[in-house]
Amino acid sequence: MCGIVGYTGKEAAAPIILNGLSKLEYRGYDSAGMATFNEQTNGIEIVKTKGRLKNLVEKTDGGKGMPGGCGIGHTRWATHGVPSKANAHPHCSDDRMVVVVHNGIIENYQELKEHLLQKGYTFYSETDTEVVTKLIDYYYTETEHDPLKSMSSALLRVRGSYALGIMFMDRPGVIYAARKDSPLIIGQNEEGAFIASDVPAILSYTRNVYYLDNMEMAELSGEGIRFYTIDRDEIQKEMVTIKWDAEAAEKGGFEHFMMKEIHEQPKAVKDTIGAYVKDGDIDLSALGITDEQFREFRRIFIVACGSAYHVGMAAKYILEDLTDVLVEVDLASEFRYRNPKLTEDTLVVIISQSGETADSLAALRLTRERGIKTLSIVNVVGSSIAREADYVMYTLAGPEIAVATTKAYSTQLICMYLLSMYMAKVRDEMDSITFDSMMNELVQLPEKIANVLSDKERIQWFANKFASAKDIFFIGRGLDYAICQEGSLKMKEISYVHSEAYAAGELKHGTISLIEDGTLVVGLLTQSNLCEKTLSNMQEVKSRGAYLMGVTENGNYYLEDMVDFVVYIPKTDPHFTTSVAIVPLQLMGYYVSVARGLDVDKPRNLAKSVTVE
């Protein structure tokens, strides 16, 4: 959540900052602001606006109204204080000696604020960021204007998370940065240096970046970039080259990023399979886990949030069916508060698209503190979760811009399929005939996903009929229940239609009382051994006035006489149906949102990367 962009160099800073912030709009925000060093006045100018970035663009004439080659900008998603101009970033000390943009949450800001009030400071906003700004200012005075020493002194008193971009009025042309538990990257090209909270912000200027680690600081100036620990010891960092280009983060002719990314799923799935399948066999040597370790694991905890959690739910059914391993799936936000019983024969799998999800990162650290092995499944190379886990398995989804995940979810599923099959094979729990059959089906998934996309106009027609729906229910059993959870989330997060996912057998235990005439109930019927039971539950709600939509495999044409609308998907191995069946549900959520005239890519109140608890 929130976006940070900063630049210092030979070019005008403001247009670069505005362009970078526009690439981070997908992260969710409610206000925007920018500060630049004006060489004519030897002062720092600050402009802030409530609402969309276009307001800041108009107010600064596209950046032309804020001269200077050094500046920082921010798009804010409210945590402390309502969306307002006063609460927008950048924040500053009273004399603008210190100017700060900040992502994260300062947990002890009230305690720090009381300390500063006693020192004579006053406050104009409700934010924790203003508190940390003035804390740095306090130490800047105490240290006779030593930037690194003042930052170190202030940040060692801070509890919480932060990614900071800082300018000091008497340090023209220099930007300072610091990071703890909130992502921040440093970029460099021949003209200057950048800070940003995510790669797309600076990708049109450079592919060469440094990842700032926890409790590290950086100094960006015309003389180059220098890195320090929080104790001010200078360190060297390795430059990383971003391999995907700026075009990958553009819409490419689609009306919305979400629809573009839905259509990119066949390629993303194919690329992820190709990374780990060699000559018809699975090769997980890149993970660093030995076959002997795979044989020794007796329990797997899958820990994740949101859609990644739904991947974990699907993986539980698959892993427990293919192996004798006990699998538990935990919401990351609950995992570390329930005293999980972790033993030496346990592997904890952390799934996160961004690799920066705060709750998932905290769960990872708790696990490692207890000496338990961790495997991360992430999409962002060099992210915190990727770096801190014992082992990492990358998805090859490419940049995902829409807030509602689609292709990252699909590639995470692929990783869990591969992990499940490989474990079963090396543990001698799957024979070669079954393995070869599943491999044959796995490599056909990209084509089968593309096949579902070819029928999208029919799903659009149906979605338009239910654009005014107030409640939608998704029901299924086994793996179909896991699909329902993700389908329901897609519906509610971008269309704002209340939707729920239920294990079909639970309907009669209370939920069926919510069914009334015209209520849409979507039944997933891809598991042949459970179809009859789910269909029976669908008939129960139909008799109470529900309108039925069914998602099933090709050939189950008997459903035409039993439900009102049927979506057919290509047949595949029953363990892999989630990858194919989720696509019509993604399209349903998308088309309902479009029909309701909503902002598909930036749904209200949501952020792409949840980097605070």
Q: Helix, strand, or coil here: 106?
A: strand
Give the orientation angle of helix 306-322 with respect to helix 479-495, to 10 degrees: 170
Has 508 been annotated as catalytic?
no
Question: In the structure encoding, which two tokens stand for residue 360, read together?
Answer: 């998932």
- Count of residues making up the chain: 613
**Upstream peptide bond of 200 is cis (omega within 30 degrees of 0):** no
CA distances from 29 to 82, 109, 252, 257, 457 (A): 12, 22, 24, 17, 32
Distance CA 165, CA 167 (A): 7
Distances (CA, A) of 516 to 505, 511, 543, 548: 19, 11, 10, 12
Side by side, the strands of the sheet bearing 471-476 are 498-503, 471-476, 520-525, 547-553, 565-569
Largest CA distance in the chain: 81
Residue at token pair 């995940």: 405
Question: CA-to-CA distance for 244 and 242, rounded, in angstroms?
Answer: 6
Q: Take residue 57 and report the two structure tokens written for it.
A: 């663009």
Please tell me the distance from the alpha carbon of residue 471 to that of residue 144, in angstroms, as a whole number.
62
| Residue pair 246/203 in contact by the 8 Å Cβ criterion | yes
Beta bridge partners of 378: 352, 394
Query: Is 608 one of the annotated active-site residues of the chain?
Result: yes
Residue 39 to residue 476: CA distance in whole angstroms:
64
> What CA–CA distances, in Å, run from 564 to 13, 200, 508, 551?
58, 44, 21, 11
In the set 2, 92, 305, 531, the catalytic residue is 2
Catalytic residue chosen out of the listed positions 23, 113, 373, 608: 608
In the block, which residue shows the tokens 């609460």? Answer: 87
CB burial string 491-507: b at 16+ within 10 A, e below: bbbbbebebbbbbbeeb
> Is there a cis peptide before residue 603, judged by omega within 30 degrees of 0?
no
Q: Which residues are catalytic?
A: 2, 608
